[in-house]
Amino acid sequence: MRTVTAKQSRILDSRTMDEAGIPGETLMERAGIGAGREILRFSKRLRPWTPERFVLLAGKGNNGGDAYVVARFLAGKTDAEIAVFSACPLSELTGDAKLNAERLPAEVAVSESTAPPVFRQGDFIIDGLLGTGVKGAPRSPFDKWIESVNAANSPVVALDVPSGLDCDTGEATIAVRADMTVTMAYPKRGMVLLDGPGACGTIRVVDIGVPAEFAEELGESDLELTVAADIAPMIAKIPRDTHKNARRKILVLGGSFDYPGAPLLAAEAAARSGAGVVTVAVPESAGIPPPPNARHLVFRRLPDNGGGAFSARSAEFAVELAKRSDVVVLGPGATTAEGVENVFSAVFALGKPMVVDADALNLLALGRLSLPDSAQAILTPHPGEAGRLAESLGIRPGSKTDRIDLAKTLSERFNAVVALKGNGTVVADPEGHVSVNGSGAQSLATAGSGDVLAGAMAAWAANFNSLFDAAKTAVFLHGLAGELSQSGVRGLVADDLPALLAEAAKTMSPSA
């Protein structure tokens, strides 16, 4: 989905009211109710913890008005206490914000004070303080309110944009650090730049009825955010008369004595993401046993030189397996031992669609492996791997502010789709398309998570004509899988993720 600037957002709102004839009151009602629904969904994922009190922080403008609608909606949908804290006297409200403050039911407690509220255990905080017009550091008292929110050990959802974030540049001297941001109509450009991903958390977009042609008339956007509305239509039905070969064959080449689990995680993820047949090939001398609970995987041990990793001797066997596969994953757990590059180079020469991950990326960075110009490849570096790839090209890696430029540069130089992993994974292709992922959770920062993503990406690549779309889909569903975990932020392990990938796809589409 395209991103918009603050000015473009105002233009869209104005045209919707003036030309489409939708009153501002209606737009605010749709925004608040849509946000309220997302907040309830999010709160249910936090179980067994449940909110004892929904605390809504309301500013003077339309963000405050949205907060009042959310408060009214939640009052009718939950038995939890609803408390509104207004950062200004209610007598100063005007327009639709004033109207919705007056509509609050009697059971909703409203406090008027410039001092920030005192939060307590069991609070769920909803930020409606500042909107899209923020430039520079928030003034008093909003700076103190933001500091208070960030110091609270409570779930936080921001309405439209986290208070304090510049929605054009992504800069934030101080901003609410939300677990989720529910933005209206279209995501704002600053949400995916600089400090934006860290401030926004997971992003959800509420359709408030802005006509699509108004957004199209703004011109093409050079920066997109991948959201659920982008992914759901791409999950097509599988015909009832299909068969396993029609659902595509995936080969995973990886593993070593030191890293036996990585290729198995990738293979399981590919199977759970819709592949019909998944083969996992590992070095014979690594001693990796077939996974006991994954008998659906085809397991192959390739001859090697006895060192616990692939060697030049493994290449011909890997090529034969790759010839019978639709997409190949190269690298998980393979190490950079001498001879591993022979295996991957031989597979590269086949011209198969492939996902280049982990040690295959490190071999590229070391100059021991070259990606053919004609390769159909998705590269999946984490920041460290991306930095090494950049250095191998003579590019000095920058700070976090350069993530988008770095992904674009790597994509252009390697002539491949690049998925630069991290909070707000950036997917770029050589034609200049860029999309930042809007799903995800801190729980995904765990060993093996990237191996799971590589396998999922291969399965989607096998069924899409566009590797860019395949990468966006896999990244979004992988992020959503992290959100769906019932093990909490600390309890998720990579072994949990393949099954959660299937659940994530099912939440997007009944066709999954």
Are 129 and 239 within one domain?
Answer: no
pLDDT band of residue 298 (cuts 50, 70, 90) is very high
Q: Return the exposure string of 214-232: e unless at least 16 CB atoms fall within 10 Å of the residue's CB, then b.
A: bbeeeeebebbbbbbebbb
**pTM as predicted:** 0.95
Whole-number average pLDDT of the chain? 95
The pLDDT tens digits for 460-486 are 999 999 999 999 999 999 999 999 999
The residue segments making up the domain with residue 339 are 234-508
Looking at the structure of the chain, the number of domains it has is 2
The pLDDT tens digits for 21-55 are 999 999 999 999 999 999 999 999 999 999 999 99
Q: What is the largest CA-CA distance in the chain?
A: 80
Cis before residue 48, ω within 30 degrees of 0?
yes
Q: Is residue 343 part of a domain?
A: yes
Q: Is residue 17 part of a domain?
A: yes
Are 266 and 174 within one domain?
Answer: no
Q: Is residue 186 part of a domain?
A: yes
pLDDT band of residue 291 (cuts 50, 70, 90) is confident
Of the candidates 460, 470, 462, the residue with the CA atom closest to the CA atom of residue 433? 470
Q: Is the pLDDT of residue 399 over 60?
A: no
Better-predicted residue by pLDDT, 397 or 271: 271
CA distance 171 to 174: 9
In this predicted structure, what is the pLDDT of residue 134?
A: 87
Domain CATH code at residue 313: 3.40.1190.20
CA distances from residue 378 to 354, 445, 478 in whole angstroms, order as listed: 6, 21, 16
What's the DSSP call for residue 188? B
The pLDDT tens digits for 60-89 are 999 999 999 999 999 999 999 999 999 999
**Residues β-bridged to residue 124:** 54
Are 185 and 261 within one domain?
Answer: no
Q: Is residue 228 part of a domain?
A: no
Other Cβ atoms within 10 Å of 166 Cβ, number: 24
CA distance 84 to 75: 11
Are 208 and 266 within one domain?
Answer: no
In this predicted structure, what is the pLDDT of residue 320?
A: 98
In this predicted structure, what is the pLDDT of residue 461?
A: 97
CA distance 86 to 384: 44
Of the candidates 478, 483, 486, the residue with the CA atom closest to the CA atom of residue 502? 478
In this predicted structure, what is the pLDDT of residue 33?
A: 98
Are 318 and 197 within one domain?
Answer: no
Are 360 and 486 within one domain?
Answer: yes
Domain CATH code at residue 188: 3.40.50.10260
